[in-house]
Amino acid sequence: MRRPVLLVIAHGSRDPRHAATVHALARRVRSLRPGLRVETAFLDFDTPSVPAVLDRLAAEGVRDVVALPLLLTRAFHAKADIPAVLREAPACLRIRRAAVLGPSPLLLSALEQRLYEAGLDPADKSSTGVVLASAGSSDPEAIAVIADIAREWRHTGWCAVRPAFASASLPRTEDAVRALRDVPGVRRVAVAPYVLAPGFLPDRIARGAAGADVLADVLGPAPAVARLLVRRYEEAYAPDTCPVAPLARIPALA
């Protein structure tokens, strides 16, 4: 049986770096799973749109799709926007929704890779305070997840880890940087953007990191992120255990 198409659904941005990063991540996923068809679509701003890709797949005779939200938390886009657009898919498509990417140990690995690429060394962990800087959300569940990730990450050896948000919630990145300066044992402060691609809010995080010693890059097409996309796809599509059914009968995976 032919494996379902993987449809990666990104938010989209007016910033062209966003789409370029999404496409780079999709290319890395293809390199990990040769033969797997990977399509990308966007909820807003960029093209192709999700309905356009779904219509094209249906016209080509595709019947099975795994829709993977390129999102780090289950906030509004995961709970409302993506289910709404998928409900309008052509009736001939059988669509499974994969889980959002976070939380996952693979994302922590990607965050650390970006920090090391920015100049830190594993030996620096015990004397470094890290700001886990996310885009922010008005969804309390999403905010609580970021706080939980910061606590978990702290237990891997960092001197301290504090969450921060570029919008909707507090503290801001610059406030978390200042707070870490006062933590006993912190000799340097690093900012790790918990975002997938460049854009308006990641740029705000970067401006807030002006007082830090190290600013990591966005997660982007980090190898661990690509492996996580493959994992979410395989979790959603398990041909030996999960029969394919119409979209309305399949809940999003937690």
Determine the average pLDDT of the residues in 202-223.
Answer: 98
* pTM for the full predicted model: 0.91
**Closest residue by Cα to residue 26 from 49, 12, 6, 51:** 6
What's the pLDDT at 245?
37
pLDDT tens digits, residue range 219-237?
999 999 999 999 999 999 8
How many other C-beta atoms are found inside a 10 Å radius of the C-beta of residue 163? 25
Q: What is the crossing angle of helices 105-117 and 223-236, to 10°?
A: 170
- What is the tens place of the pLDDT at every residue in 72-83? 998 777 888 999
At 49-103, the pLDDT tens digits run 999 999 999 999 999 999 999 999 987 778 889 999 999 999 999 999 999 999 9
pLDDT interval class at 249 (50, 70, 90)? very low
The answer, yes or no, to whether residue 248 has pLDDT greater than 80, is no
Label residue 186 exposed, middle or buried (CB < 10 Å: 0-12, 13-18, 19+): middle
- What pLDDT is recorded for position 78? 80
Residue 36 has a pLDDT of 97
Q: pLDDT confidence of 239, banded at 50, 70, 90?
A: low
